[in-house]
Chain A
Amino acid sequence: MTDERLSLDSEGRTRAYGLMWTWPRMVRAASAEYLGAGLMLALAFFCWIGPTLYPHNGLAIHAHHILSAPDRRFALGTDALGRNVLARLMRGGQTTLAIAFWASAIGLVAGLAYGMAAGLGPAWIDRLLMRLLDALLAIPTLVLMIFFAAIMPLGDVGLATLLGLVSWPGIARLARNETLAARERDYVRAARQFGANGFYVAHAHILRAMLPLVVVNATFLMADMILGLSGLSFLGLGIQPPHASWGGLLNTGAGLAVIGSWWLIVFPGLAIFLAILAMNMLGQGMLARLNGEASG
């Protein structure tokens, strides 16, 4: 118990150790959110800085090196067309992470707008919007995504919009509950008394009051978006070839892995897993800190 309080104190008391840190202590202090953030940064570095350090074309076909296992020339092997898997993994990561990011942003904005409208509006609007929300929450998101992706062909922007618009109800529920809690606080009532208009109160007080929780849930949303987008691409309904995406790489690799080309599924799968893990760790670490608990 004592060790935990030392390493996970939210008041920053851990810093008192300064240069005396030994590495077991550092590991213990490096709680989930730092590990998650570090992992995400490393993945972003891999995807965006990686191509400049490893300048190979992921679309170039090396006809004499079809399905070659990882070696010195192709660090992560080549696929059935003789394309460089490492280069494709970097490009695919850019697409996957960028679309997941914009999808989360869309979902976040839509959810916040809906939830705050419900929380700040009159009671009957709140009741109506929440009924609708319950109805929407009952529908499994991936099923809706598959349905939409099947009936209309989507580009990158379309995919981000689809994912964002399917995923906002959770954020909306949170935003509504937090708005209801915040709007009766004394400082908000005081601001109203001073004549602040609704829009000012909404963004300067209520949004600010729930910001920590919103940030935490945005991280979980991003994890969901990476999973959803990769799942969709794995099913052949998301990002379309020849564009690389982590889910798409796994999809094409799945059939070939059985005949021995394990590198075609292990690396894209690990990339998806690590990205989701990073966001989940970041979110859970932050949540534990908000609740004043040790993260575990």
Chain B
Amino acid sequence: MIVALARRLGGALLSVALLVTLVFFMIYATPGGPAYSILGVHASPNAVAALNRQMGLDHPVWQQYLTWWMHLARGDLGYSYTEHAPVASLIGSYLHNTLLLDSVVAIAAIGAAVVLGLAQGAYAHRLPGRLIGAWQIVGYSLPTFFVGTVVILVFAADLAWLPPGGIGGAAAAGHPLMPWRHLALPAATLALPLAAGLSRYFGHQVRDEYRQDYVRAAAARGLGPARIAFGHVLRNAARPLATLIGMMVPSLFVGGVLTESVFNYPGLGWLLWRSALEQDYPTLTAIVLLIGILTVLGNLAADLLNTVLDVRVRYD
């Protein structure tokens, strides 16, 4: 158990180290270098050289690479040239917004996946199972940015039921439903493909459970379909749920970038998009690293949860 934990942790650290290295060398290999993006393409060579000296960009690669690690270790993520603030202080509120959106989405998607998956597995090869199956393939083939724009058009522009985006200004702060009203559309948009993918996976689990002998034995003992579904099948099929949640983490962030951009929801994904368009390298780098680390942590947590939940899982 201890060895397995250490190995998982080692793998996670390796992921992070690889990401940090990859990002460093990509920035290093950028044509023109960061100085040009700060000063603009028409900057004089002298100004570029001066800035390079000031930022330590004239040192040999390995020295820059070590400095890069030391800065990261100290939590120094650089200085945003477009927001004129240290990146580390900038990210906090965006991270908070993203975690809020993502937790709502995760709960909604998992809830929907369990209900739909159970129905799909129980009625496999019959009409309800087929309908859910058809819905799933449509659901995760729909690009979030398309769904998002249509949803804004219908629910915000035409029907004016919900705000089209953002998180509301100071005027909205007192309203008790404010954050939820602003969360509803982006959360639903982001949850749709996730629920489709998860429920398909879960539905297959349920269907396989229904083929097991213990289900037949339970039916032979005279247990009703509800008892079998909730008392037996659900418990066994729910075991890989932790893995499922781990699988969700990257999709949450990927979908989050597009959804937050469509709805102008000020989260990490939105900030990633803005800093990419404005070529704000320090912010961009910090967010890529942060999302990478969060993903690795999410996977790690899912693995650990899996070990705790299922005594049969052993990492060797």
**A contacts, CB < 8 Å to B:** 1, 4, 32, 131-132, 134-136, 138-144, 146-152, 223, 227, 230-231, 234-237, 247, 250, 253-254, 257-258, 262, 265-266, 269, 272-273, 276-277, 280-281, 284, 294, 296
Contact = CB atoms under 8 A, between A and B. Distances in A.
Contacts of B258: 142, 231, 234-235
Nearest to A247: B145
A131 B11 contact: yes
Secondary structure of the A contact surface, majority rule: helix
B210 interface: no
Interface stretch (B111-119, B149-157, B181-189): B149-157
Nearest 4 A/B pairs, CB to CB = A269-B146, A150-B276, A296-B133, A135-B15
Contact of B296 (A138, A150, A273): A138
10 contacts: A140-B292, A143-B272, A231-B258, A235-B258, A235-B273, A235-B277, A250-B145, A258-B164, A265-B149, A272-B146
B284 A150 contact: yes
Secondary structure of the B contact surface, majority rule: helix
B288 interface: yes
Contact of B257 (A4, A143, A253, A277): A143
B14 A131 contact: yes
B27 A230 contact: no
Q: Find the residue from A132, A139, A230, A236 having the highest chain B CB count within 10 A.
A: A139
B199 to A, nearest CB: 13
Q: For the side of the interface on B, what is the size category?
A: 35 or more
B141 interface: yes
Contacts of B296: 138
A281 B253 CA distance: 25
Contact of A235 (B137, B261, B288): B261
Interface in B154-174: 156-157, 164
A250 B149 contact: yes
Interface stretch (B18-26, B83-91, B308-316): B18-26
A139 B294 CA distance: 10
